Amino acid sequence: MRLTGLVAEGYRSLKSIRLELGQVGLFVGENGVGKSNLYRALQLIKAAGEGTLARAIAGEGGMQSALWSGARRLGRPVRVILQADVEDDETAARFSYRVEIGLPPPVSAGFAFEPHVKEESLTVETGRRPVEMMSRKGPTAYGRDGDGRRVEHPTKLLNSETALAVLGASGRYPEAGDLRAAVSGWRFYHGFRTDADSPVRKASLAITSTLLDEDGGNLAAVFATLAHIRQDTVDLDRALADALGAKLEVPEPGETATFGLRLPDFPQRLFRPQELSDGQIRFLALAGALMSYRLPGLMALNEPEASLHPRMLPALADMIAKAAERTQLWVVTHSRELADLIADRTGARALTVVRPDGATTIEGLKLTGRISDD
């Protein structure tokens, strides 16, 4: 399933924004304009599918931090609204999922500052008009079963639960289950720890790993899978040679998988992950994410250029362009150089993120979500 649109209202610096999306979403802007809020809004859609939406918002400071802090219309409920539009390329069915999160009422079965899921809906369009496949208001949720009948879900939902997660996991509502599986499979890479105890510097269990974990903890297993299961590291070797002038070596795994780099200035010595610089280990982690045996339906990178030497950027853009042939990509960067390199290689348009009146938007963005040709 391919993400075709995103709506975010009332979330942090996103007062109200609607975006149409293609194979590569490329966002560039200065620090503080709200680029990461776009990335985070998309990440919250995944959290809704996994059933961790309330926890995710609480983890970033709760509803007080998540809510738009600017002027509001009097009489309207104070809510964060998120919507994802997704299209199934095989069936051409168009899914639209919407969730509204707000503050708890004065008397409620929940904690005082806990985010409350107020409303949800899922519509699917396969013909002339969309059909509601799931709806929720308060604790009551409805869905359409395998026979297309609209039925009430037998369990009342908690304020912190999402209907997408609960109904999607029940096995009773096929469309909700399909969308939940799709968004739960998205991957978000917001930098990688590079300290001495970083997961990417450690050996990992020798288990066939077709996809990099979001913390990079199975990086060694991802490399071992490419080297010893797929037996194809041509693109990976080229990327590391271009960026680092180095050769990756991955020993045959035993109980654990490991790797090392052989650098041109010291060809007789293999450098272990613990000895590599922050930039080297971060580039290796990005290579593991972008060149895994299999890629997720959507991959999002937030400021992938962080800690990288400028000479590594062309190789990073090459890896991103190669990955875009196998998955949908969302890239947020403050590096205009990297954005231009990606645009040259993929044909994607670099969208400039701005914050002219306190609200994050895109230069040339129309109300329809399209970008002006100017």
Work out the average pLDDT over 227-234: 94
225 and 150 in a common domain:
no
Note whether residue 55 is domain-resident. Answer: yes
Work out the average pLDDT over 338-349: 96
Note whether residue 177 is domain-resident. Answer: yes
CATH of the domain at 283: 3.40.50.300
Note whether residue 165 is domain-resident. Answer: yes
What per-residue confidence (pLDDT) applies to 357? Answer: 86
Distance CA 306, CA 329 (A): 18
What is the number of domains present in the chain?
A: 2
Is residue 297 within 8 Å of 327, Cβ to Cβ?
yes
Note whether residue 374 is domain-resident. Answer: no
pLDDT at 179 over 90: yes
Amino acid identity of residue 249, one-letter, is E
Note whether residue 373 is domain-resident. Answer: no
Phi-psi region of 248 (alpha: psi -120 to 50; beta: other; left: phi over 0): beta
176 and 108 in a common domain:
yes
- Give the pLDDT band (50/70/90) at residue 107: low
SS3 state at 217: coil
Q: Do β-strands 260-262 and 247-249 pair in parallel, antiparallel, or remain unpaired?
A: antiparallel
Estimate to the nearest angstrom the gap between the alpha carbon of 32 and the chain centroid. 20
358 and 255 in a common domain:
no
More confident residue, 164 or 358: 164
Is residue 17 within 8 Å of 365, Cβ to Cβ?
yes
Phi-psi region of 79 (alpha: psi -120 to 50; beta: other; left: phi over 0): beta
SS3 state at 121: strand
Is residue 86 within 8 Å of 1, Cβ to Cβ?
yes
251 and 321 in a common domain:
yes
Task: Report the b/e string of 297-322 with b at 16+ CB within 10 A.
Answer: bbbbbbbbbbbbeeebbbbbbbbbbb
Look up tokens 């009773």; give the residue: 172
202 and 182 in a common domain:
no
358 and 343 in a common domain:
no
Note whether residue 35 is domain-resident. Answer: no
125 and 223 in a common domain:
no
233 and 149 in a common domain:
no
Q: How many CB atoms lie within 10 A of CB 157?
A: 19
Stated length of the chain:
374
319 and 265 in a common domain:
yes
145 and 247 in a common domain:
no
Distance CA 353, CA 94 (A): 27
67 and 108 in a common domain:
yes
Note whether residue 78 is domain-resident. Answer: yes
Amino acid identity of residue 39, one-letter, is Y
16 contact partners, CB below 8 Å, separation of at least 6: 8, 9, 10, 359
Tokens read off for 338: 């990297």
358 and 269 in a common domain:
no
Closest to 248 measured CA to CA, from 256, 193, 232, 316: 232
What per-residue confidence (pLDDT) applies to 104? Answer: 77
List pLDDT tens digits, range 203-225: 999 999 999 999 999 999 999 99
- Give the pLDDT band (50/70/90) at residue 349: very high
pLDDT at 370 over 90: no
Cα-based distances in Å from 94 to 11, 61, 140, 167, 242: 25, 34, 25, 19, 41
Residue 261: give the domain boundaries: 191-349
